[in-house]
Homo-oligomer: A and B are copies of this chain.
Amino acid sequence: MKALLLVAHGSRRQQSNDEVVLLADKLRKKCFMHYDIVNAAFLELAEVLIPDGIKKCIDEGASSIVVLPYFLNSGRHVIEDIPNIVNDTIKNHPDVDIRIAPHLGASDLMMELLIASANSTKQS
């Protein structure tokens, strides 16, 4: 089974973390054609952390996992921290194909999203 693990930074503000979990819930309903399992995890400050998020996907039956960094900029978290944690975790699960997707800010669709967000103001 294929899993998608949405990884956000994590916040001291619980509502921000809840938003990420809610987003993963929405995503699960939306992309069931692509992924059998969709979960959320956090780099720090919130539960579940990335290793536990990966383990949860595997416990639910995942044989491949795409880790998707829910980050806009290619800062240290995207370039170093998330890859380091994922690579450490991969060692414990050599039979699972775990890959890291490009962070959100790198998407070609970002332009369309920005323009749509800006334009939604004009209708208010």
Q: How many residues from A make CB contacts under 8 Å with B? A: 50
A106 at the interface (CB under 8 A from B): yes
User: How many protomers of this protein does the assembly include?
Assistant: 2
Cβ 8 A contact of A111, one of B11, B27, B72, B120? B27
Cβ 8 A contact of A110, one of B23, B108, B118, B120? B23
CB distance A120 to B104 under 8 Å? Answer: no
Can you report 17 A-B residue pairs in the complex whose CB atoms are below 8 A from each other? A4-B118, A8-B72, A11-B75, A15-B75, A23-B110, A27-B111, A27-B115, A68-B117, A70-B72, A99-B122, A101-B120, A102-B120, A104-B117, A107-B116, A109-B109, A109-B112, A113-B113
